[in-house]
């Protein structure tokens, strides 16, 4: 959408003020769009990180020999899995807004 202020003769000082305000608003909008894109990516990265750690602890549990290490690994796996599920549920609800 083009703004009609760009097509005036420029003799009025108010036109310059409007142009500056329009450019500031446009820059603010673009920064907001970039921020939304970054936040969406960060939400994905968070879920991926939690799921990665869940898989790593499951692998460690499978490789562990002693019962104590196995129990600790499964506890860690459970914790990371809960965080991944919570993050998915929370971020999924935010994406629907």
For residue range 27-57, list pLDDT tens digits in order: 999 999 999 999 999 999 999 999 999 999 9
Residues in Cβ contact with 88 at an 8 Å cutoff, skipping those fewer than 6 apart: 47
Choose among 50, 45, 47, 43: nearest CA to 77: 50
- The pTM score is 0.72
User: pLDDT value at position 19?
Assistant: 86
Average pLDDT for residues 19-25, to the nearest whole number? Answer: 92
How many domains in the chain?
A: 1
d(C-alpha 52, C-alpha 76), whole Å = 12
Domain enclosing residue 12, as ranges: 4-95
């Amino acid at each position: 959408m083009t703004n009609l202020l760009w097509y005036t003769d420029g003799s009025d000082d108010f036109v310059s003020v409007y142009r500056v305000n329009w450019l500031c608003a446009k820059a603010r909008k673009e920064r907001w769009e970039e921020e939304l894109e970054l936040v969406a990516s960060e939400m994905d990265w968070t879920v991926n990180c939690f799921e990665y750690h869940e898989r790593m602890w499951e692998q460690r549990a499978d490789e562990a020999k002693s019962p104590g290490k196995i129990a600790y690994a499964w506890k860690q796996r459970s914790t990371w899995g809960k965080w991944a599920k919570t993050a998915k549920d929370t971020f999924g609800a935010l994406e629907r807004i």
